[in-house]
Structure 1
Amino acid sequence: MKRQYHIGQTVVPYEIDWSANRETIGLSVDTSMELTVTAPMSATHDDVEAALDEKQPWILETIYGLGEQADPPLDKEFLSGEKLLYRGRQYHLKVQEDDVSEPTLSFDGNRFTLHVHRFDKPDDDVSIRRKRQAVVDWYIERAKSELGERVEAHASKLDATAVTVDVVDLDNRWGEYQAGTVRLHWRLILAPVRIQDYVVVHELAHKNHDEHSAGFWNAVGSVLPDYKDRRRWLRLNGNTLTV
């Protein structure tokens, strides 16, 4: 059932997702600016309201930040001359006919080349989907390698060694930590490395801090003193990290 939480004149719609696997109350906000509260079955509505009261600054900051977000880029057709985003930089794309059964993407450090079959016509919807999948597959493979390296680079700083890394599609989240595993969205590979590091450090800090407490943010800040700037960049520009 949809509920409303009032912060002054601001009305925040929210739903409660009761979970038998949850021990604490967590909050998330999607791109429609609706709030989801994930709560254990033992929690009461008063517990939920108390959690919302405690997180008022975060709720306001997140919602107003979403309203300031940059518009997502237009859909690509994967034609020569377009640009692909990688680690925060735009690189030109060249589409080249080759003896391949499926489109494949390569990168030489300066330019992307999309190798396609001659039957992959530029204006054909099926061909566009095939080319997009080739690009996504390349990003995912790079993300598995490079994001794992970012976790390895920071884990010991947060006493979070022996964690595993899983690169997946996380819907409206960039990362999460669960039971010794850091799960990261593959689209982070599109972001500047400093932003990748923010998400990595954020999730690693959850190994020793379940909630976004003062101790949690002190741990993040001990590794990334400018984490607030990185967090704001991601909130404002996350919509642009798309294929």
Structure 2
Amino acid sequence: MPSLPLSPVRTGGKLARISGQSLEVDGLTFEVRRSDRRKTLQITVERSGELSITAPTKVPERDLASFVEEKLLWIHTKIEEKARLQKRAPVKEFVNGEGFLYLGKSYRLRLMDAQLVDLCLKNGRFCLRSSSTHRARDVFIAWYTRRALTWFSQQVAEHANRMDVQVNEITVQDLGFRWGSFGGNRVSFHWKAILLPPRIAQYVVVHELAHAHYPDHSANFWLKVEQHLPDWRTRKSWLAENGIQVEGL
């Protein structure tokens, strides 16, 4: 389906171009997301560098552009931070002695000539069958996915009960630049979330379950998170600053 043409709008000193689902200000393009349940405007800079603005349904497009213009310095700062962190993400080579994360701890890799399984964690080391090195990334992802499903299922069972949330299905998959998602009584986690320290992965669980009560990131949403994780700000900050380090597998 062709996209709607962008209409020029003058706001302050910037020329903005707006369509129903897209907003351009100062050379930046934002996906516009509207919700009847949304009370305030919010700008999100994804780990990928993609930009979005979430707004109540009836907020005029001109107000969206004005809001973005007011936040331009903050937005450009965040974009630069994301780009800098992306460059720091290591790329694995799957060689002897290389470190691999699991629940926040780094385990050295040992290549094994004779091993029945592709990969196992044994005596404090990841043991990878030498004949499987050509597909080592897929082997690690499969291993992480299985472990993540078990670990997150236990966490969800514990926290969903306390948070009065019904969960009918738990999945682990590649969610791109999201750590998790919640919708239709189904909660999903990125397989990379099992690389995080337990207290940070726990924050991801509580964060997603809180969306069962508040689908946006309103003040009420964060109050719900705080009820169950009083130190959520510390955990959230750690994830924002260090989460990129698990991107290089």
TM interval, short-chain normalised: 0.7 to 0.9
Aligned to 1:204: 209
Aligned to 2:119: 105
Aligned residue among 87, 94, 111 for 1:78: 94
CA RMSD of aligned residues (A): 3.5
Further displaced range: 218-227 or 37-46: 37-46
CA distance in 1, matches of 2:203, 2:217: 14
Aligned to 1:124: none
Cα deviation for residue 39 of structure 1 reads 7.6
CA distance in 2, matches of 1:192, 1:183: 18
Equivalent pairs counted in the alignment come to 225
Contact kept in structure 1, 2:167 and 2:187, CA below 8 Å? no
**1:209 is paired with a residue of what secondary structure?**
coil
Aligned to 1:91: 107
CA distance in 2, matches of 1:99, 1:70: 35
Cα deviation for residue 24 of structure 1 reads 6.1
**1:171 is paired with a residue of what secondary structure?**
coil
Contact kept in structure 2, 1:69 and 1:238, CA below 8 Å? no
Aligned to 1:114: 128
CA distance in 2, matches of 1:68, 1:115: 35
Aligned residue among 7, 10, 15 for 2:30: 15
Contact kept in structure 2, 1:165 and 1:183, CA below 8 Å? yes
Aligned to 1:159: 164
Structure 1 residues 134 and 200: alpha-carbon distance in aligned structure 2, compared to 1, 3 A threshold? same
Amino acid at match of 1:233: W
1:117-171 per-position Cα deviation (integer Å, ceiling 9, x unaligned): 2xx6xxxxxx44x112111111111111111212112112221133421211111
TM-score (norm 2): 0.74
Map 1:28-47 to 2 at 5 A. 28-31=44-47, 33-37=49-53, 45-46=61-62
Structure 1 residues 201 and 53: alpha-carbon distance in aligned structure 2, compared to 1, 3 A threshold? farther
Aligned to 1:179: 184
CA distance in 2, matches of 1:213, 1:12: 28
CA distance in 2, matches of 1:33, 1:173: 12
Amino acid at match of 1:115: R
1:21-79 per-position Cα deviation (integer Å, ceiling 9, x unaligned): x7667754233534134789988624744886999999689557636747544322211
TM-score (norm 1): 0.76
Structure 1 residues 23 and 186: alpha-carbon distance in aligned structure 2, compared to 1, 3 A threshold? farther
Cα deviation for residue 233 of structure 1 reads 0.8
Amino acid at match of 1:142: R
Unaligned runs of 5+ in 2: 1-5, 7-21
Cα deviation for residue 230 of structure 1 reads 0.7
Contact kept in structure 1, 2:180 and 2:187, CA below 8 Å? yes
**1:195 is paired with a residue of what secondary structure?**
helix
Unaligned runs of 5+ in 1: 6-10, 121-126
